[in-house]
Structure 1
Amino acid sequence: MLVQLTYASRVSRTLSSDDIKNILSSSQKNNKADGVTGALCLSNGIFLQILEGDRQKVNKAYHKILADARHKDPAILDYREVISRKFSEWSMGLITRSDDNRQLFLKYSSSSDFDPYSMSGETLRGFFSEVVDNVRWLRKSPD
């Protein structure tokens, strides 16, 4: 059975660019081995992540995150069975807020600060769906 789990957590300490690279690299390695796909968003000191795959493997990945000292205040925001994966091409993709995508973050947020803790499951799915669509569009765009 395929599931999607979306959670948020706050960064427990200031992360360097090397910390973020290490998080992404280890996530990609571990997720690829377990058949887990998804995306990690980092904005305003908040991790927002969607994981998808086999229920036991996704739950295992989430429990590893809970044990990671870089995360605090974890909360599952959405958990559901799915028919197919949304992120089949990403063992783990990273999305950070930038001037280029500021409007996307603002579009789904109820305030000027991106706060996934206050977002509904439906809103979070819309946000991640648009992220995937934008990435696909960018890949197809001529260089």
Structure 2
Amino acid sequence: MNAQTADQLIRMTYVSKATFTLISGQKEGYNRNIINILTTSRRQNRKNKLVGALYFGNNYFFQCLEGTQQHIDALYAKLEKDERHTELKVLSLEPIEKFAFSSWEMKYAAIDQEVPSFLKSYGLDKFDPYHFTPEMTAELISILQKASEGLADHQLKN
């Protein structure tokens, strides 16, 4: 992952599979593990000047991170050791001119209404980002950028 200089802004999008399971009937966004991940991510990302968005569906994480190459590399090394998920796969890594998620240390967007339409447009029945093409990855990033809602810190604590 050393294609750019250390201070170049980049966007990395990766997917992984959760190692925990949801309690039957529990909304995905309110799982204790998700809340812990978001709370920690927001605190750490603020310190490391990283921003991004996270979507969790069908037991898969889809995460887009923006920051310097140095900070992205350091975080990815930590993510590889995080036991709450497995099978990390980078879908895209590209230089960017400016942050697209500048107001979110880690946005957790409520895009559950958009995802079924997105999947249907590609002939898919369920969310499985391991099968995403570069076009699909870019489109989901765009959906995340446009999503106005996210779980704020005070909502995570409730």
1:125 corresponds to 2:132: no
> For 1:87 and 1:27, how far apart are their aligned partners in 2?
14
> For 2:123 and 2:92, how far apart are their aligned partners in 1?
18
> For 1:62 and 1:118, how far apart are their aligned partners in 2?
21
> For 1:108 and 1:52, how far apart are their aligned partners in 2?
27
**Equivalent in 75, 78, 98 of residue 64 of structure 1:** 78
> For 2:78 and 2:122, how far apart are their aligned partners in 1?
28
**In the alignment, is the contact (CA less than 8 A) between 1:105 and 1:114 conserved in 2?**
no
**In the alignment, is the contact (CA less than 8 A) between 1:86 and 1:129 conserved in 2?**
no
If the length of structure 1 is used for normalisation, what is the TM-score? 0.84
Deviation, 1:21, is 0.8
The CA deviation string for residues 9-52 of structure 1, in whole angstroms up to 9 with x for no partner, is 10112257222111000000000100000011100000110111
**Equivalent in 107, 113, 122 of residue 93 of structure 1:** 107
1:18 corresponds to 2:25: no
Q: Tell me, what secondary structure is at the counterpart of 1:83?
A: coil
Gaps of at least 5 residues in structure 1 are 137-143
Q: Percent identity?
A: 30
> For 1:104 and 1:36, how far apart are their aligned partners in 2?
29
Gaps of at least 5 residues in structure 2 are 1-7, 24-30, 150-158
Tell me the equivalent position of 1:3. 10
> For 2:109 and 2:118, how far apart are their aligned partners in 1?
10
Q: Tell me, what secondary structure is at the counterpart of 1:84?
A: coil
Deviation, 1:104, is 4.5
Aligned length: 135
